[in-house]
Structure 1
Amino acid sequence: MIELRAVRKSYGSAIALDGLSMHVPEKAVYGLVGPAGSGKSSVMELLAGLSRPDEGEILVDGLREGSERRRWKRRIGYMPDFSGLYPEMRLSEYLEFFSACYDIPRARARQRIGILLDQVGLRGKEFQRLDGLSRGMRQKLSLARALLHDPKILVLDEPLKDLDPGNRYELRQILSELSSEGKTILLSSEMLTSISEICTDIGIIERGRMALEGKLSEVLRKIDASNPILILVEGSITKTMQILKQDPNVKSIGIREQELMILYEGSEGEEAELLRRLVSSGIMVRSFHRERGNLELLFLQLTGELRERRITGHEAESDLSKG
């Protein structure tokens, strides 16, 4: 649905996008996440047709940037990271103005505006001046404007930024409804936790390059597979440690009271075999499971905001290379 191939974009001497490639599947809710200055807004502006790439190729719904630019822009509803409202206008006037910009006939525009006001929760606010709107209402109005021409794709730059918890929840619900209607949604955020609940796919961008991209479920599985195994045993743990040290997939062992934490590089089948060996050796194993993946921690690691993962609460760790 959306494809960027080795896209470069600079502003003077500042490189915003450095050979960025990304893929947004049709009907996905794709979260583009990265710290400030990572290149998120540059991607959004390129897709909205507000700027052009220096190098590389961009396709939207099979249309190439350039010769098919007008048809391309018709398929996209763009919501920038600033409201861009006209303060003296009333809410209904604002939407009528942009309906005219899209060449939507007046009767059809009024019908469409009514539907959108219901959808974003602004029914009854038609005659309110825009300079009196709260931040949450401004974001809902901006979303309604982006939907006026019923685009297949929504490109939303920081839609949840600076919203209180109630408005964040409401806007996420609206986006979920739009996704269920078949819209493809690309939204950006500096905070992974604020959008991960509604995303089907994620891309983590850092310094204009894609650090990680994929289905959210697949990314979480990969994180789980790289996390430690926690083992809780009854009785002495000495015998348990002897068995663990014999397994070449066990790279380190941490101890906290009767719980052991091991960094394990084997497959799921090898994990099951390790548990079987412990039990058959007479070890009373109370629990044996992988620590759940931490998506936010992965984001911090990939964007360079966390240089080292520290696992706290463990009193000892043995280096197996020392025996």
Structure 2
Amino acid sequence: MTQIPMTPWQGPMIELQEVTKVFGPTRAVDNVSFMVPRGSVFGYIGPNGAGKTTSMRILSTLELPTSGDAFIEGLSSVNDPDRVRHRLGFMPDAFGSYSDTSCAEYLDFFARSNGLVGRERTRRIRWVMDFTGMRSMSEKPMNGLSKGMRQRLCLGRALIHDPSTLILDEPAAGLDPRARIELRQIIRTLAADGKTILISSHILSELAEMCDRVGIIEQGTLLANDTVDGLKGKSKPHQDLIVVVDGEVDSAIEVLNALPSVTDVEHRGQAIHFQTVAGNDNRIQILHQLCDAKIRVLEYRPIDESLEDLFLKVTTGKVQ
């Protein structure tokens, strides 16, 4: 009999539906909902104790919610945990090591735990070693690894069964700059290959570079869920700009101060900082006014808010 191939799941790969988790008097996660489509990278940020790790543990079948549900490829982490684990790779913020275990033995154990056998197990271990740059470390005891190599090994463990979805809890914590760059490149490659990734990090500049969307959580409550550009647009109705002129600073300041849409004009040498109503048409009009006044403009650009700036504006600094 001809076997009909299964249609790939068309809905969100990761979804939280009104998830709440209570520990005694503390609501670690409070009615949180969001979804991540296939092939996207979702950055999950918040202060320590905000509820990030608890949310991730619920998605990863390691914690049961007090109410609500979490889904991986449409499968409930509460009601169908075994099938969820086959589709999911979870990299915790900390993991144990074993003094007499080599890196290859460690990956082999988890390959067997995920049901890989024979040549397929050997192939996957070899692929993970190559992909994470661990081939030369295969026979080295895992407790002798540097922090960066330990993180690569943990990521390799999460990838061993070729999951469609990855949940990475603070993968860059404690890494030196080179190790962070290399880890970021690995994550970008995985996303380009179609993996769906939920990642938390305190290094917000890196998340801004690699994430399609970010969610900001504080005291268990999801405060924002948008693209970085979308968050910038919501954070304020005005825009900060800088114009650098060749001489004629006073004349440029006079032109800017005469425009009703321009405020807070300051100059630092030949650079003039000011604010204006957000919008490309308004920015173009200001540039035309400067050029019409024969001001020689060397540079004209917006001053973008960083993800750190947005995080500080959205959160209040409260902890549970």
Indicate the TM-score class for this superposition, using the shorter chain for normalisation. 0.7 to 0.9
Moved more, 226-235 or 136-145: 226-235
Q: Give SS of 1:4's match.
A: strand
Q: Give SS of 1:264's match.
A: strand
Task: Name the residue aligned to 2:129.
Answer: 117
Shift of 1:175: 1.7
Task: Name the residue aligned to 1:8.
Answer: 20
Shift of 1:189: 0.8
TM-score (norm 1): 0.83
- 2:53 matched to 1:41? yes
Distance in 1 separating the partners of 2:108 and 2:175: 26
Any unmatched runs of 5+ in structure 1? 307-323
- The match for 2:156 among 117, 121, 144 is 144
Moved more, 257-266 or 192-201: 257-266
Q: Give SS of 2:166's match.
A: strand
Residue type of the alignment partner of 1:229: L
Task: Name the residue aligned to 2:8.
Answer: none
**CA pair 283-186 structure 1, distance change in 2 beyond 3 A:** same
Q: Give SS of 2:136's match.
A: coil
- 2:263 matched to 1:284? no
Moved more, 1-10 or 180-189: 1-10
Distance in 1 separating the partners of 2:77 and 2:51: 19
Residue type of the alignment partner of 1:235: E
- 2:180 matched to 1:168? yes
- The match for 2:277 among 240, 265, 282 is 265
Distance in 1 separating the partners of 2:220 and 2:275: 32
- The match for 1:59 among 29, 49, 71 is 71
Shift of 1:246: 5.0
Distance in 1 separating the partners of 2:30 and 2:263: 36
Residue type of the alignment partner of 1:5: Q
The 5 A counterparts of 1:225-244 are 226-232=238-244, 234-235=247-248, 237=250, 240-241=253-254, 244=257
Q: Give SS of 1:87's match.
A: coil
Task: Name the residue aligned to 1:155.
Answer: 167
Residue type of the alignment partner of 1:237: D
TM-score (norm 2): 0.84
**CA pair 278-119 structure 1, distance change in 2 beyond 3 A:** closer
Distance in 2 separating the partners of 1:278 and 1:133: 59
Distance in 2 separating the partners of 1:278 and 1:115: 58
- The match for 1:23 among 18, 21, 35 is 35
Moved more, 156-165 or 221-230: 221-230
Distance in 1 separating the partners of 2:289 and 2:165: 53
CA RMSD of aligned residues (A): 2.7
